[in-house]
Structure 1
C-alpha cells in the first residue's frame, strides 16, 4: 500500500488553535492516502487527547531550541511519496486544490510545491500579508531540515508547483510592534551568535544575525554580518535563497546607515556580479531607483526603472524561475507591489530630464486597469503634473495616447481636450469620467464643468446629498473670496435642475458672505431672509410639521435651529417690533456662533433705530451685546482665530468705544498671525 502524502506537525500546548489546525487537515486525511505525524513538545494531557483523535503517530520531543532537530524527528518517520509540514498555530482555509493535485496524479510531474501563508499582524485578522512558502516536496533520502532557527527544508528543487491554497497564521500577531521586536530579537540573537561561533562558515547564520540586528536598528552590525555572509555564500557552487537575501539587502542596509552614495555604489557592483540572478536584479533595481531619487541622479535612475521593468516582465514570463529565485521577504509578488512606486519615480526622473519619450513609455507600463492598485498613487500623479507646471501641456499630451478606460487617465484627457479647445470632445470625455469618478476628483470635475458650462447632471447622479454637503462646505471654505464669487455665479445656473443641491451651496455661500462683509440694513435683512428661507425650505421637505414646530429639538440640524428663530425675529423687525425680536435673536446667537457676527450687524441697526427720539435704549439690547462678547471670548478660548476675527470686526463696529473688544482684537491678531486669510 502506497502513502501519497506524509503530514508532519510540530505541536506544543496551543489549544486555542490546535483544534482548527487538525480539523483543516481532516479532508486531506480522508480523501488521500496520507498519514499524520505529530512531534509533540508540550506537556498538557488535554492536548494529547485532542491529537489522539486524529493520529496515533505521536513522537514525544524535549524542546532544545533547535527547530531543525524537531522537524527532522517527524521527517525521519515519514513514509509518503511527498512530505508536507506545518505548525499548530496555522490551519488551511481550503484543501481541495491540494487534494486535486494528488488525486489527479499531477504531483508526479513536480519535485516541490508552494502554498500561501497568510500572516496576520493583529488578533482581529484585519491586517495581514500573504507569502508563498515551500513546505511540500517529494520525499527522498536526501530530504532534511537544516538550521536551528528559521529552518529550511532541502533539497527544494524544480519543477515546482505554485498552489493558491493558504493557511491562516496568527503567530506574528502582537498587540504592539515593539513588543514583537523586543521579544523575538532577545530570544533569537544570543543562540544565533553562539551558533556562528561554532560554525563561522555559515552564510545562512550571517543572514539571520543581520536580520536580527536590522530589527533593532543596529545597522552597522547588520551590514557587517551581511558582508560576511555574502563572502561565504559565494564559495557555494549553487546560489541559495540566503545569498539572494544578502545581495539585495546589503545596499539597503548601508543606506540605513546614512551613506547613500556607498549604498548606490554597492548596489551597482552587485548588479554586475555573475551570481546575481534575475530576481536579485529586480529587487536591487527597486532600491537603486529610490537611492537615485534621493541623490537626484535622474538619468541614472531611469536606467534602473527600465531594468526593473525588464526583469519584472522576464520573471512574469518565466514563473518556474520566479518561484525558485526567492528569499525571506523577497518574492515576485513582493516585487510586484513596488511596480507603481518605481514607475512613479521614473516619471519624475523623466520630467527632470525633459525626456518625454520615456515618460510616455513609463505611463504605458502602468497597470491602469487595476484601479485598486493605482488609486493610492493618484495624489502622487497629481504632484508630478503640478511640480512641473511649465511642462503640464506636454504631460497631458502623454496621457492622450494611453489606451485605457482608467478614470484618472480619462480626466487628464478631458483637461488636454479643454486646452486644445476641443469642447465637444472634452464634454464627451467629461461625461464618461463623471459616471465613474475616482474618490477625491469630483472637485476637479466640477471645476471643469463650471469653466465650460457642462450640465452637472451626469456628475450629480452619482453624488449623494451627504457628499454634496461636504463639497459645498469645502469649496466655499477653500476658495479666495473673489474666486468664489465668480465660481458661484457660474455654477448656480447649472444647479437649477437640482434645487436641493442648489440651496445647500447657496447657504454655504451666504454664510461666507454674511460673516465677512458689512451691509446696509436693508441689504443685510434681505440676505438674512434669503438665507433663512433657503434653510427652512430644505427642512420642510425633510421633516414633519410637528417636528419643525419645535425648532429647539436637538435632533434638527444646527442651521435650522438657528434659522427658525432668526426668521421670526426678522419678521418682527420688519414690523417695527424691535424689542420683541430680542429674545429670538438671543436664542439664535447661542445656537450657531459662526453667525454671531452677523447678528451683531443686525444689533447695530437696531441700536440706531432704538436711539431715535421715538424709543429709548432697552436693557435687553445691552444684555444681548454682552452675549455677543461672550461668544467672542469662547472663540478666543477655543483658538478659533479666523472665526473670532470676523465676529470681533462686526462687534467693534457695534461697540467702537468698548476697550475690552480692542484688547481682544490685539490678542486675536497676535495669536492668529500665522493663519492664512485672517484678514
Structure 2
C-alpha cells in the first residue's frame, strides 16, 4: 500500500462529499486507502463516507485534536500518510501523484502543500500558508498539542505546488464561526490554566478572539504573547508571524495612536524577516492613512516585487507563517493609483488603474478612473475604457459608472462637458441618447422637442437615474405642454427629477413660471393637474418668504391640489378628513383646504380652524395660509365698514322721518333696524322722541 489518506470527521455533511471527490484523482492513480474516523456525527456524514470507503471507524470525541488525529494514523497501512480535513478540497492532485510515483520520493521524509483559507466566498478573499500534509509512515510521525495540533515529523521536506482549499473559516457563516470559536477558545483557556506561559496557546487564543472579532481581547492576548517571548529572551524570528496579526489587532481595536504603533511593529517584523510580504502591504496602507505617500509607494512596490517572486522566497516554505495579503494585489494597484491621483501624477495613476481586472475594484475606482481621464483630457480613451471593461457587465455597474461621470461633468465648464457628451453620444443606449439630446439642446436643434417626446415615450422613465430629469427641463424650457407624456410616471419619480433640476439649474423657478404662464393647460386633464401642482409646489417652497410669488401661484396651487385629491380619493375620505389614510402630508393639506373652502362663507371660525390644521400638517405653505387669513381679515373689515355705513344711513332716515312727523314710517324702520342690531342707545332716544311727539299730537 503506497498511501493512506487519513481523516477525522464530525457533522461534515456540508463539506465531506466535495472533499472526497477531490481525492479521487489520487486514489485512481495511487495504490491507496481512505481512512475516516468519525467522532460522533449526528447528521449525514457517515452515509456520505460509506460511499467512498469501507475503512470507517468510530471513536468518541475526547477534546484532544492530536489524540484523535493519532488514532487515524494508527489505522494507516500505507508507506506514506496524507492528512486532509473534511472542510478542505485538493485543487489539483497531479503533483502529489507525480511525487508518489517517482523515485525521488525516497529522498524525502515529508512534504508540504499550500493551504488557501477562504474567508469570504463572495469577494474571493483568502489567506495562504504552507502546511505539512504528506508524511513517511515510519512510526515517528504523529501529532502533539491538544488544540491546533502540530505534527512531529522528520526532514528533509519537499515543497509541493499542490493547493488545498480550506472552507473552515468563512467569516460570513456566523453559525460556523461561533461554533468554532466556542470550541477552540474553551480548549485553549483550559490548557492555559495548566500552562499560562505557553506561547503557542497564548498566540492561538489571540487568533481565536480575532476570528470572533473581539479585537480588544485579541490585542491584549497578543501583547501577552509578545511579552512572554521577550521575557524568555526567545529568538523573535521564530515567532515573526505575530507581527502582522498584532498590527491588525491594533488597527481594529481602535487605539487612538494606532498608526504610529502599527508602523513600529511592522518595521520590527521586517527587520526579523525581510521577505514578510504582509508587513510591506500593511505599511503601505498605514502610510496612506497618515498621508505619507512616498513611504506608501515604496512599501507597495516592495510588496509587489516580493509577491511576483513568492514561490522562490524562503518564506514560501515557512510552515509557521500564514500570509494574508497574497490575494490583495488589486488593492495594492488601487492604492497606488490613489497615491498618484492625490499627487496629481495622472499618467502613472492611469497605468495602475488599467491593471485592475475585478469588477469590485473597477467599481471602487470609478471616481479615479473618470476624473483621471478627464484631467488628462482623454475623453475618447475614457469611452474606450468603458467599452472594454464596463459595457458588457451588468446594468447596475454601468449605471454607477455614469453616475460618477455625471458628477465629474457637473464640475466642468460647458465646453469640456459638451465635448465629453459628444464622445458618449455615439452608441445606442439610453445614456448615449441623453448625451445626444444635451448636445442638440446646446446647439438649438429645431426639432428637439419632438425628439425628446419620442424618447420619453419609449423610455422606462420610472427607473432612470436623476440626471434624466434634463429631458423634463428641456421640455419646460421649450414651453411645450407635455404632461400627458408623464402620465405613466409616478409622482414620486417626477418629484425626484424635479429635485435634480432644481439643484442643477439656477433658472429653474423662472423657467417653470414662464412655462405655467405661457402654456395652455387643460383644467380637466389629470396629468396636467398633477404635473402643474408639482411645479407650483416647487416654486412656492423655493420662494417660501416671497409674498409676490405666493400671490401669483398659491391660489392655482390650491385649486389644482383640491382637484387632484377629489380625483384620486373617495369622497368619504375627504368628507371625514381621514388624513392618516392618504399618501402624504401634502394630500392631507389639500383635504383641510377643501373643507375650509366649503364653509368659508358661513362659518368663519370653522374656516380658520381648518386653515390652521392645514398649516400644522404642511408648514412649508405658511405664507400661503397667512395670505388666506389676511384676505379673511380684510374681507371682515370691509363687511364691518359697509355695515357701519348701512347703520348710519338707517339712523339718518329714522331721524328724517321723526323730523317730518312721519312717525309710523320711523317706527317701521326702527323695528327693521332692531332685527339686525340689538341694544343700540340711539334707538332708545328715537323711541323717546316719537313718544313725546305722539303725546303732543
TM-score tier after normalising by the smaller chain length: 0.5 to 0.7
Q: TM-score, normalised by structure 1?
A: 0.61
Match of 1:190 among 176, 186, 189: 186
1:207 positional shift = 0.9
Question: 2:364 maps to what in 1?
Answer: 377
Question: 1:333 maps to what in 2?
Answer: 326
Question: 1:137 maps to what in 2?
Answer: 134
Q: What's the secondary structure of 1:74's corresponding residue? A: helix
TM-align CA RMSD = 5.7
Match of 2:442 among 482, 486, 490: 490
1:205 positional shift = 0.7
1:84 and 1:672 map into 2 onto residues whose CA distance is: 81
2:21 and 2:349 map into 1 onto residues whose CA distance is: 49
1:101 and 1:84 map into 2 onto residues whose CA distance is: 12
The alignment of Structure 1 onto Structure 2 pairs a total of residues equal to 538
2:621 and 2:76 map into 1 onto residues whose CA distance is: 76
1:621 and 1:284 map into 2 onto residues whose CA distance is: 67
Question: 2:429 maps to what in 1?
Answer: 464
After the TM superposition, which residues 207-218 of structure 1 pair with which residues of structure 2 at under 5 Å, given as runs? 207-215=203-211
1:528 and 1:63 map into 2 onto residues whose CA distance is: 81
Q: Is the Cα contact below 8 Å between 1:8 and 1:84 reproduced in 2?
A: yes
Match of 2:4 among 3, 6, 26: 6
Q: Is the Cα contact below 8 Å between 2:349 and 2:372 reproduced in 1?
A: no
Q: TM-score, normalised by structure 2?
A: 0.59
Q: What's the secondary structure of 2:295's corresponding residue? A: helix
1:41 positional shift = 1.6
* Unaligned stretches of 5+ residues in structure 1: 383-407, 418-425, 477-485, 516-522, 537-550, 563-573, 609-619, 674-679
1:16 positional shift = 5.2
- The Cα offsets for residues 542-587 of structure 1, whole Å up to 9 and x where unpaired, read as xxxxxxxxx9xxxx6669xx9xxxxxxxxxxx9x9x9xx66x4247
Question: 2:223 maps to what in 1?
Answer: 227
Distance 1:331 1:158, change over 3 A: farther
- The Cα offsets for residues 410-451 of structure 1, whole Å up to 9 and x where unpaired, read as x6345423xxxxxxxx56546535644753343576748973
Question: 1:442 maps to what in 2?
Answer: 402
1:665 positional shift = 6.2
Q: Is the Cα contact below 8 Å between 1:210 and 1:223 reproduced in 2?
A: yes
After the TM superposition, which residues 89-108 of structure 1 pair with which residues of structure 2 at under 5 Å, given as runs? 89-92=87-90, 95=93, 98-99=96-97, 102=100
- The Cα offsets for residues 386-428 of structure 1, whole Å up to 9 and x where unpaired, read as xxxxxxxxxxxxxxxxxxxxxx37x6345423xxxxxxxx565
1:587 and 1:18 map into 2 onto residues whose CA distance is: 63
Q: What's the secondary structure of 1:333's corresponding residue? A: coil
Is residue 372 of structure 2 the alignment partner of residue 412 of structure 1?
A: yes
2:321 and 2:363 map into 1 onto residues whose CA distance is: 26
1:622 and 1:267 map into 2 onto residues whose CA distance is: 64
Q: Is the Cα contact below 8 Å between 2:422 and 2:439 reproduced in 1?
A: no
1:492 and 1:646 map into 2 onto residues whose CA distance is: 40
1:378 and 1:647 map into 2 onto residues whose CA distance is: 50
Distance 1:48 1:432, change over 3 A: closer
Q: Is the Cα contact below 8 Å between 1:510 and 1:527 reproduced in 2?
A: no
Distance 1:87 1:218, change over 3 A: closer
Q: Is the Cα contact below 8 Å between 1:213 and 1:221 reproduced in 2?
A: yes
- The Cα offsets for residues 295-318 of structure 1, whole Å up to 9 and x where unpaired, read as x4x34x632541242143124224
Distance 1:145 1:341, change over 3 A: farther
Q: Is the Cα contact below 8 Å between 2:590 and 2:614 reproduced in 1?
A: no
Is residue 135 of structure 2 the alignment partner of residue 148 of structure 1?
A: no
Distance 1:314 1:31, change over 3 A: same
Kindly name which structure, 1 or 2, has the bigger radius of gyration based on alpha carbons.
2
Q: What's the secondary structure of 2:323's corresponding residue? A: coil
1:8 positional shift = 0.9
Question: 1:540 maps to what in 2?
Answer: none
Q: Is the Cα contact below 8 Å between 1:113 and 1:160 reproduced in 2?
A: yes
1:65 positional shift = 0.9
